[in-house]
Structure 1
Amino acid sequence: MSIDPMKIGQENSHSTVVSEGLHTRIFRFVDENKEFGGCTGAVAMKILTDEFPEVEQISQLENEYRVTQHLSKLRFIRPALNFVKKEGKYAIYFDWAEGITLKEWIGILHKEMQITVDHNLNDRNVERTKNPRLKSAVSLALKISEAFVELHDSGVIHNDITVDNIIVKESKNYDKFSVKIIDLGLASLLSHHDCVSEKIRKDICCLGAVFFELFTGVNPYCTKDSDSIWNDGGAANMKNEINIDHDRYALLRTRVPWCLSTMIYNLVERRGQNCYYQSLTEVIKELHIILTDHTSLLSDKHDIKSNNPFHSQTNKLYGRARHFTMLVDAFRSVSHRTGLHEVVIVSGYSGAGKSALVQQLKAPVIENGGHFVCGKFDQQQQMEPLSVITAAFSNLCDMLASKDANELKQTRAVIKEVVGSEISVLVSLIPTLSQIIGSAKSQPVKVGCIEALNRLKYIFRLFVRSIATPARPLVLFMDDLQWADSVSLDLIESLITDGENKSLLFVGAYRENEVSQSHHLSIMIHKIERKSIPIIKIEVGDLSKEDTNELISDMIQTPAGQTRSLTDVVYRKTSGNVLFVLQFLWSLCDEYLLFFSLSSNQWLWNTAMIESKGVAHNVIELMSCKILQLSGESQNALKLMACLGSFCEEAILNLITGSDGMIALSEDYVSNAPQGLNCGHLDLFEALGFAVKKGLMIHIDSNYKFTHDQIQLACYSLIPKNMRGRWHLWIGNQVWANRAASPEKALFIAVGQLNKGTMFIHSKDRRIELARLNLEAGIKSMSLVAFAPAAFYLKTGMGLLHENSWSDHYDLCLQLYESYAESSYCQGKFVEMNYALQDIFDNARSSDDKLQAYFTLVRALGAQNKLPEALETGLFFLSELGEPIVISSDTKAIFLAEFSKTKHMLDGKTDDDLLSMSIMTNKTKITAVRLMSILSLYAYLSDQKLYSLLVFRMLQTSLLHGICHESIPGFASYGGLLSCCFRDIEGAYRFGQLSLRLLEKFEAKECLGQVYLVIYSLINGWIESHYSSLEPLQFAYSNQMRCGEIQYAMMSARQYCTHMYQCGVELSTVEKTCEDYGKMMIEHKQDLFYKYTLPYRQASLNLMGRSKDPLLLTGEAMDQDVLLNDAIGSKEMALVSLIYHQCSWLAFIFGDYGLASKMVEKINEIDTSTYPAFMISSYAFVEGLVSYALAHKTNEAKWEILGRNATDKMFQYASIVPINFQHKLLLLQAESLFFSGDSMNASK
């Protein structure tokens, strides 16, 4: 039976049109009785549709029938049942092949795979290519390959392999297929004279195009006619077609595991006149290998032959054994209690492997019970205050909090014991610390900016001491120090120079070619070296060729002897820079010049082609070329990440993209978005996932991070310079628009990005709005004691103002200039400060608006040790506040008048009356008392009379207007004046105790040091044991350090050293204490107080026999002549008298009474009437001993008279407080009796 093709023109009840081409139409007929001789119960009829078909069309149809008949026994070919030719109509009858075309199957496949990917977007940890349908596609590719091998083995070349010419039927379990090859009209039968290999290669390359479309869903060629590829140059045209369109290869690498993409590339790419595969049998072998190990080869796991082609020796270093030994030895030093903490600085060019070297130390540190903490500074995030330090120690706190309950309990106890209640300072900076110690019970005491920085450094030292112990040493690794901000370097320097911490190893790495001698880092290193702290310096250079060969050999797991040819060319092009080598190898893989052959199970490369490959001059250029081969979406995602820095938290990315991971832009934003992002949406996380898969980024702990800074710089370099500001501006707008989710993080990110795009902001209103944001960021930075970033934000805000801003936006201008002046003062940039202050003085609308500026100016003058100018400015400021202090030549009269006024105001007031005084509420008076408190320190150091007047006025103001925190030291200071100037011991003690009760009542911790200093230096020595002052003075030092009050802390330390010596503490202890506190004074630039410790330390050394001349205060601690001349020159008479006193004491002890007498005479020439009790009593005691010694020696009456006078003074002191002076009185009395010849009573 046959159906007449003449009668077939359209569908009817017997037929269905299933396909229609340019010249053909295919019908399907039901053949239930199998009358056509088929096996399927249906028949396909292919007819020529042209009324007058061309000879070529007829010839192709006849050829298809003839070839099909030749292949009739093959399972992959549908049988041809008949060929009909009648009245110019031609048709072939085929047994019906169930299924769909491969093109249709590909469409279904990729739709299903996209649904799976979309479903997994909610879980970004899902492996993107780990899709069950991918295995099915590989199984189908294997089945198709087997079909064409059978075809070729039967002597037939298809010549028209496309996705339309393959019929696919899939079983229900998705892993078994039946395949039929159709459309054999262009097929040819091979003869003995044909060039078989060339014709087979044509089918192989076309099959590669089919597989490309199978796995990507995209046809790799621009033309739809596959045969045209071979016309006019054949394979060369196909190569050009592919090379021109980099996005197609990018798509292949994006959607297909590395093993498959390499195979497909090798199918379609010719190497000269040759193909990589000589037959499809080799393809079948590789597909079998992939299916056998599909769990690893088709997943995203980094495994050889999979997506990451290279083997990674994570614990192996190349050419760095000596360097690593130096690091390990440094760690052993801090872990074996050698008594010294260690500092290691690693330098080298970018990509040399500095970070990788130090990271190798992590394993031995952890194995030996230590903690390894690392942080990395970022060029794009330099203005985020202390972000790197806080992130590093946040990770440490997470580690500590994860310990078992007992260890966590011990850690908590130690931290609380060492740091105390001031731990709240760190909790506000490192919130994760609360996991260890719990929530802070109290807020940090509010102090000034400089004091806050001092406090932070001291508390941070204590915290690190508490967690870095010999049993648990701490390794702190800070990477890319060349980009560290100044406040972070200050904090690092503070830790490094902490002599009390013996269990800290600091390792810093930086790029030496980016750090000049004037760089903050160079200055820090020089300062550390000047403090005699040894620094281990490690310079990391490029690899040698042998080390490079070892690296390559390990990476591709090929014997070193076989990789030398590859190493030679790689080394010539990279010079052994580690990062350059690695990225160059990646580029070879991306271009399929280096690939792993699954069939031969080895790595293959073409040295000649690699040698001819153009090479970038550096890693950035190389990576830029590589990134340009990625898809547009991937490039834009990487550019966006590069604008944010070398790493970014997912929380920040969510502010840009929204919760669904898609960047959705409003119409306004679309018009202003950078080119590439104005498409309205971008699946950022999907694109970043691909970047992770390609080794450009890593995703760890909810952070996306470039695998190297050079990659980030390469991505950033792809943004045209004149467009970078627009990118930053757009990112800043996105972050700020979505800030509600994370307001604190959003502030610094948004402002930092917006500031880089200010050149694109032209609206005055928007510039003012950004100025306000910079003010907010500046104030926040100041609260974090990050003065350099604060100054940057504030100065940027000032630069956004317009010429009428002082009139139109007065409050904003005033706050910006006030804050900028203060931040400049805190950095010691007094010129910039003065410019800002002058603007305030010129534009302020009232005296009240100048208050903050005056405070800043006074403190800045004091910081520069311009004490007279500071006092002059402060007194002017006080008069502006309504508290003028009169200064005249008759200072004594003014002193007595002010004392009488104060005494009169205090008459009749009991302690309870004073304790129950109202709180001062008048802001002007509070400001005045606060200023008096600041000025009193400057006056104490330079003008004692003015100091007394300030103390009197502080009390007077408090008695009239109420009490405030700053009033409390005034009561103690008043007691000190009563003691020193009026010898009113009872009154002095009363006001000293009153100030202590006020401290307790108002919880004024910040004032404790001032109060204790006065009480235990000037007052209690007349009432209590001198020895009892040691513990309070030491506590005052610690307290003031915790409050950041460095000057009062150092004054307390000075007094502590003095009292130790006077109280007879063991000399070696005195000497060591003076040395230790002296180092602290030098560190904090408190030279004035440091000088007062030197005579006591040198005298102790002399008395212990550790000086060349025991009579001279010259030796290890000081040079007597230098210090004495300096003191005389600067009119520091208290220091002069101290030097003379120690010289007289040494001269007496070592028997040079003449010299001792001369020193005593020099002391008597100085007014010591206001000196503390222990000082004037000590002067009298030494004078008495020297006088009696000379009386014995010369028998001159004058010496006996001087001795008796000294004894009388000591009698007065002993009658007031026997515990301090009775023993000295008895010794002088004994000397007097002995001189009188009453030896018996003298001995008693």
Structure 2
Amino acid sequence: MSGSGNKRQLTGSIRNIYGRDQEIQILSQGLDQIGTTVPLIFVGGKSGTGKSALIEHVLKSSKGQAWLIGTCKFEQAPNPNPHGVLLTALGKIIRDILQLHPGSRGLYRKKLVDAFQAGELSHLTELLPELGELLETKNKKTSIKSLLKQGGRAFSIRKLKQNSYHSRGDLERFKFSMRLLLRTLASVDKTVILSCDDLHWIDKTSLDVLQAILLDNELRNLAFIGSFRDDEVDGTENTHGLSNFLEAVKSSSRAAGCRHISVNSLPVTDVQSLLEAVLKTADGIEALTEFVYQRTGGNVFYIKQLLDSLEARKLMQYTYSSTLSMLQWTWNIESLKSKTTVSQDVAEIIKANIDLLSDNQRLILARCACLGFRFHQRYLEIFEQNNGNEEEKQIETSIQDYTEDVNVLIEAGMLEEVDEMLKFSHDSILEAALLLIANDAERSQLHFQIGHELYNRHFAPGVDASMKEQEHTDQILFLCVDQLNSGIDAICLCDERGIQLSLAELNFQAAKKAAEFSSFDHAMVYAKNGIELLEKESCWKENYDLALGMHTIFVQMSFCTGSNDMLEQMVGVITSNSKNVVDSTKAWLVLIEYLGFGNRFEEMLQTILHVFELAGEELAPDPTMEYARTKFEQTAAKLNKLTDDDILNLPTSDDPLKEFCIRVLGSAHSPVNHLKGPRAQITYACKMVDLTLEHGLGRSSADAFSVFSSSILSEFYETRLAARAGALTLKLTEKLHLTERAASARVCAANQFTWHKPLSLSLDYLMETYQMGLRSGEVGAACLSIVAYGFSFYYCGLNLMPLAKDLGQFIVKMHYYGQTSTLLFALSNYQCVLNLTGQSDSVLDIGGGESQKWRKIANWNGKTGGQSDLSYLLQIAIFCRNKKIAVETKEKLLVSDKVNSSAVVNGAYYFGLARAFYMGIVSYWQYHTCSKLNLARRQKLLGEAKKFHDMVRSWVVEHGSINLPQKLFILEAEQLRAQGVKGADLKAAYEKAIVASTKSGFTQDAALAAHLASEAIPKERENFLQQARSSYLRWGATGVVQYIDRDLVVEDQSSGEMEESSFRARRRFSEAMLREEAAIPLQTNPEKLHIANRDNRNSIS
């Protein structure tokens, strides 16, 4: 739509940016940093100061740069598809790529196909049609449709998931896809510029996605520009934590590229420059400048509106000057002052401009305001319908010619035309247009008319299917529902149950669609609106399916958004009104996950027991270990009768209730272990497998074998059966196309590295699992893989310095993803590494520093991770030779063992096996230092040491652990010492342990063996101490070396035997270690570790 004749000549001539030289320079300099850093530029200022114009000016002046620019604007009215705003920017970027040479387009296409799995591309092309166009090939037969068939499995899974269960993982999948898409687009030869306007109106979901993008350290060739009203960031409901977002970005690893530009109102001098340029004269400009500045305060938008008003009222005119023989602008300053007031604000100025419009133009402007800030031009066709009152009908006699009036509105600066869309030229004009509607009742009626017409055209029964399936159906659905919801008062006045029921059904459809977009907040609002439209007394009888669906999606969205005030109440409504247990399974599952998420484990377990009772399934509430052993033997016997192929070819389960029972137990296995220990965990794991074998394969069958594998390792050390169950987990994940469960399956399978594969080889595997979890939305599994990564890295003997950095970053990510319990478990590992590497105040303070900080942030319950604290403190005390703390910590662990046998030893994880080893070391220490006269005490300590020693021996010899032989050698050397062996035989035993540890790459074990040898063989003390320090430094444990050195100085001074030669020897050693440390490689070849570990085990056999 375009027109001429009425366009404002005065403000229409404003083309340049005035008074912004400094801001332009800062913004341009920020963008100049592309390549050396990632510029993150935030432009703040009050409404109307020209933030958007500034950014647009700089980006337009950059033509010729190798940039792909995507711009978008957030709007005051919430968008039910929040991704649509960011996708608008990405669509513009891809449209620019489509204009490139075919060879360049082909390069982008190849990069995309290589980066994404085909199923992921199919999903993205639905959301981003431009991407589908880019992926087209010359041969139409091999177009995007055929490309997407490669991902048919993943695509069909996504469809199935939409119809089954929504979770927070849906949003995480989308966030990962956005990050990967931008990484790929920015990896070719052009920089991606993402510019987002009006961030103060950003919705929470989009803010989460944007933060994930900006904090992605792997996304490099990128620049971001964001504008917002800085006076509306704090303390308003619609900012959704924007101030926290800004702080998070500025305090992140991206801080070096952050810049903040404040755009304020223009000073008087710049206002004068603007007027001189626009009016092309300096005559009388000082007085006019004073007048304009008094009424606008230098706000650029206000200046434009004031000038438009003066021109429209003919107080400023473009007339012919006979004196100058040319056209020029004229005004009378006294007339301007007398006909305007100083107190006149922008709203009054805009209203005055609107009042100059015709009645019909004002009516169209008001209806446009009801459609929102931005809308498709085709929606204006609705105005042709004669739905108004008698007064409106008279106005609408010529409404069919609305295009002329819309052109007038565009020329008057009220509306703008952009890409077949119309939008208000400023938010203040939209607000003024809404005031044209006399009252709330009239506004409600107008919204109802628009919504009702959209419903009749697109969603009413009998509508042509082609109308329902057109390109913008989703947008029309949201617009229709939003209009009808806004017109709810008018609907209620109709008192027609049919209309209200139809609107309830529409809200249900909108809720499901918003949930598919991971717009959980909007989905919950739609579901709530739909529920309120239903008759509470009769809806479950008359509209059962609708009531069930609406309440269920409300419960799911409540949990996904964390808005849990009504969750338990709504679950009660569903369970009390549902016709059967199957209909209420989703509600029960949400409740169980919610209770577990809130650490309400007792209530969670009671709910599970109640659900199993309703399902007619037996589940022991408090099984004994003997009961667990019996159940395990029964399940193991069933499995031993079947081959893997037998299990993989079981029929598909047709009993959703049994499938639900398996899923519930899978969700609860960690809390169950926390409450009841491995006896309950094993019992329930066996139940999961039994249900699968009895009723066939379902989507939770992989979880059954996953939990079973971990459970039987943790207590019974059934390594072969656990390995088989782990392998079945992976095979079932692939067979059932469980893309969204692959990361969990891999985490389970990683437990096998404890036994039959070198720990060092697990690191890449676990990092891949982490990426897979983020990709599939399994954030919990991704974070668990990082916990396992931290354990494996710590115990495999590689230098700890990289691990300290990795864990610091991952702790932040766990907090960001809301994985509080996982964070608390990882925290002990992180603090231990910081202590060992000398990056904390005290090497023996496991609960201070970062641990204390993050526990405060996470609102620690005082329990989670407590056992891990004791375990790591025990190890640090042993490394530092602090026997007092080591003994105290061991006793605390033994006390906890009386309550939960897995507290000391958990065979599913290497740290459990290592814990038994360190307990044995302390027991031998106590024996060595115990008075020979205290025979009973010595016998008890020797018995404890033997118990732990025998555990380690059985794991190596009987169960085939290849990561424990060097630890067994250390215990055997300690045993020889306890038996009174001395001289060459004892030295040979310790040296065997040192050599085995060094060859297999377990640097910390080599250090410990040498350290113990320095105590056991006094004549070789200095030699073994030097070896210990060297190995500790290779491991990165400078904090331990510093502690040992201080401790030795204290010992020597207290004994009065501090000789100068001894001091010189230590000094020379320290100097040598500094040189040695500089040459220490941070990584060791995993393949060599594998060979060495295998050789160690063979030597034991």
- TM interval, shorter chain, is 0.7 to 0.9
Q: 1:676 to 1:993 in 2, by over 3 A?
A: farther
Give the match for residue 724 of structure 1: 443
Q: What residue identity is the alignment partner of 1:682? A: Q
- Does residue 602 in structure 1 map to residue 328 in structure 2? yes
Give the 3-state SS of the residue equivalent to 2:44 in structure 1. strand
CA distance in structure 1 between the aligned counterparts of 2:739 and 2:787, rounded to whole angstroms: 20
Q: CA deviation at 1:747?
A: 0.7
CA distance in structure 1 between the aligned counterparts of 2:45 and 2:80, rounded to whole angstroms: 24
Q: CA deviation at 1:581?
A: 0.8
Q: CA deviation at 1:582?
A: 0.7
Q: Give deviations 1:363-398, integer Å, cap 9, x for gaps.
A: 366654333322222234544543322222222222
Give the match for residue 898 of structure 1: 631
Give the match for residue 960 of structure 2: 1217
CA distance in structure 2 between the aligned counterparts of 1:483 and 1:681, rounded to whole angstroms: 34
Give the match for residue 337 of structure 1: 36
How many pairs were matched up? 925
8 Å Cα contact 1:972-1:1014 kept in structure 2: yes
Q: 1:1120 to 1:893 in 2, by over 3 A?
A: farther
8 Å Cα contact 2:756-2:961 kept in structure 1: no
- Counterpart of 1:404 (choices 95, 101, 104) is 101
Give the match for residue 691 of structure 2: 957
Q: Give deviations 1:922-963, integer Å, cap 9, x for gaps.
A: 222222223232233432454433332321111111111111
CA distance in structure 1 between the aligned counterparts of 2:93 and 2:480, rounded to whole angstroms: 28
Aligned counterparts, 1:223-372, within 5 A: 254=6, 308-310=9-11, 312=13, 314=15, 316-333=16-33, 335-338=34-37, 342=40, 344-348=42-46, 350-363=47-60, 367-372=64-69
CA distance in structure 2 between the aligned counterparts of 1:964 and 1:922, rounded to whole angstroms: 9
After superposing the two structures, state which structure 1 stretch, 1164-1173 or 823-832, moved more. Answer: 1164-1173
Q: 1:1149 to 1:341 in 2, by over 3 A?
A: farther
Q: Give deviations 1:1054-1085, integer Å, cap 9, x for gaps.
A: 01111111112221121112112111111122
8 Å Cα contact 2:847-2:869 kept in structure 1: no
Q: What residue identity is the alignment partner of 1:665? A: Q
Give the TM-score normalised by the residue count of structure 2. Answer: 0.78
Give the 3-state SS of the residue equivalent to 1:683 in structure 2. helix
Q: CA deviation at 1:687?
A: 2.1
- Does residue 854 in structure 1 map to residue 588 in structure 2? yes
Q: What residue identity is the alignment partner of 2:487? A: G
Q: Give deviations 1:619-640, integer Å, cap 9, x for gaps.
A: 2322222222223333232222
Give the match for residue 166 of structure 2: 448
Q: CA deviation at 1:312?
A: 3.8
Give the match for residue 851 of structure 2: 1118
CA distance in structure 2 between the aligned counterparts of 1:631 and 1:680, rounded to whole angstroms: 12
Q: CA deviation at 1:1099?
A: 3.1
Q: CA deviation at 1:491?
A: 2.0
Q: 1:1030 to 1:834 in 2, by over 3 A?
A: same
Q: What residue identity is the alignment partner of 1:724? A: R
Aligned counterparts, 1:520-919, within 5 A: 520-521=238-239, 523-526=241-244, 528-529=246-247, 532-533=251-252, 536-559=259-282, 562-598=284-320, 599-615=325-341, 617-653=344-380, 656-657=381-382, 663-665=383-385, 669=387, 678-679=396-397, 681-721=399-439, 722-739=441-458, 740=467, 741=470, 742-761=472-491, 762=494, 763-802=496-535, 804-806=537-539, 807-888=541-622, 891-919=624-652
Give the 3-state SS of the residue equivalent to 2:838 in structure 1. coil
CA distance in structure 2 between the aligned counterparts of 1:676 and 1:855, rounded to whole angstroms: 58
Give the match for residue 758 of structure 2: 1025
CA distance in structure 2 between the aligned counterparts of 1:571 and 1:854, rounded to whole angstroms: 64
CA distance in structure 1 between the aligned counterparts of 2:233 and 2:193, rounded to whole angstroms: 24
CA distance in structure 1 between the aligned counterparts of 2:983 and 2:853, rounded to whole angstroms: 39
- Counterpart of 2:235 (choices 508, 517, 533) is 517
Give the 3-state SS of the residue equivalent to 1:477 in structure 2. strand
After superposing the two structures, state which structure 1 stretch, 608-617 or 588-597, moved more. Answer: 608-617
- Counterpart of 2:716 (choices 982, 987, 993) is 982
Q: What residue identity is the alignment partner of 1:973? A: V
Q: Give deviations 1:149-175, integer Å, cap 9, x for gaps.
A: xxxxxxxxxxxxxxxxxxxxxxxxxxx
Return 5+ residue gaps in structure 1 as ranges.
1-123, 130-252, 259-306, 658-662
Give the match for residue 1004 of structure 1: 738
- Counterpart of 1:1178 (choices 907, 914, 922) is 914
CA distance in structure 1 between the aligned counterparts of 2:11 and 2:564, rounded to whole angstroms: 56
8 Å Cα contact 2:234-2:243 kept in structure 1: no
Q: CA deviation at 1:735?
A: 2.5
Aligned counterparts, 1:503-514, within 5 A: 503-512=221-230, 514=232
Q: CA deviation at 1:542?
A: 2.4
CA distance in structure 2 between the aligned counterparts of 1:1144 and 1:1095, rounded to whole angstroms: 12
CA distance in structure 2 between the aligned counterparts of 1:1121 and 1:815, rounded to whole angstroms: 40
Structure with bigger gyration radius: 1
8 Å Cα contact 2:666-2:707 kept in structure 1: no
Q: 1:497 to 1:929 in 2, by over 3 A?
A: same
8 Å Cα contact 1:311-1:556 kept in structure 2: no
- Counterpart of 2:828 (choices 1095, 1106, 1123) is 1095
Give the 3-state SS of the residue equivalent to 1:1225 in structure 2. helix
Q: 1:752 to 1:427 in 2, by over 3 A?
A: same
Q: Give deviations 1:198-231, integer Å, cap 9, x for gaps.
A: xxxxxxxxxxxxxxxxxxxxxxxxxxxxxxxxxx
Q: What residue identity is the alignment partner of 1:308? A: Q
CA distance in structure 2 between the aligned counterparts of 1:691 and 1:542, rounded to whole angstroms: 27
- Counterpart of 2:868 (choices 1116, 1129, 1138) is 1138
Aligned counterparts, 1:91-102, within 5 A: none
Structure that is richer in helix per residue: 2
Q: What residue identity is the alignment partner of 1:1174? A: Y
Q: Give deviations 1:784-839, integer Å, cap 9, x for gaps.
A: 11122112222222233345541433332222222222222222111233343343
Q: Give deviations 1:506-563, integer Å, cap 9, x for gaps.
A: 443333555551535262322552673456544433222222111111122223x642
Give the 3-state SS of the residue equivalent to 1:870 in structure 2. helix
CA distance in structure 2 between the aligned counterparts of 1:981 and 1:962, rounded to whole angstroms: 28
Q: CA deviation at 1:1092?
A: 2.7
- Counterpart of 2:133 (choices 429, 432, 435) is 435
- Counterpart of 1:376 (choices 57, 62, 73) is 73
Q: CA deviation at 1:310?
A: 4.5
Q: CA deviation at 1:1230?
A: 4.9
Q: 1:639 to 1:1174 in 2, by over 3 A?
A: same
Give the TM-score normalised by the residue count of structure 1. Answer: 0.69
8 Å Cα contact 1:696-1:706 kept in structure 2: yes
Give the match for residue 998 of structure 2: none
CA distance in structure 1 between the aligned counterparts of 2:367 and 2:308, rounded to whole angstroms: 23
Q: 1:1034 to 1:1230 in 2, by over 3 A?
A: same
- Counterpart of 1:1038 (choices 771, 786, 796) is 771
Q: 1:893 to 1:517 in 2, by over 3 A?
A: same
CA distance in structure 1 between the aligned counterparts of 2:294 and 2:868, rounded to whole angstroms: 72
Q: 1:479 to 1:1037 in 2, by over 3 A?
A: same
CA distance in structure 1 between the aligned counterparts of 2:226 and 2:51, rounded to whole angstroms: 10
Return 5+ residue gaps in structure 2 as ranges.
137-143, 459-466, 933-937, 993-1101
Give the match for residue 1051 of structure 2: none
CA distance in structure 2 between the aligned counterparts of 1:436 and 1:939, rounded to whole angstroms: 50
Q: What residue identity is the alignment partner of 2:385? A: L
8 Å Cα contact 1:549-1:563 kept in structure 2: yes
8 Å Cα contact 1:840-1:850 kept in structure 2: yes
Q: CA deviation at 1:1038?
A: 1.8
CA distance in structure 2 between the aligned counterparts of 1:863 and 1:592, rounded to whole angstroms: 67
8 Å Cα contact 1:485-1:788 kept in structure 2: no
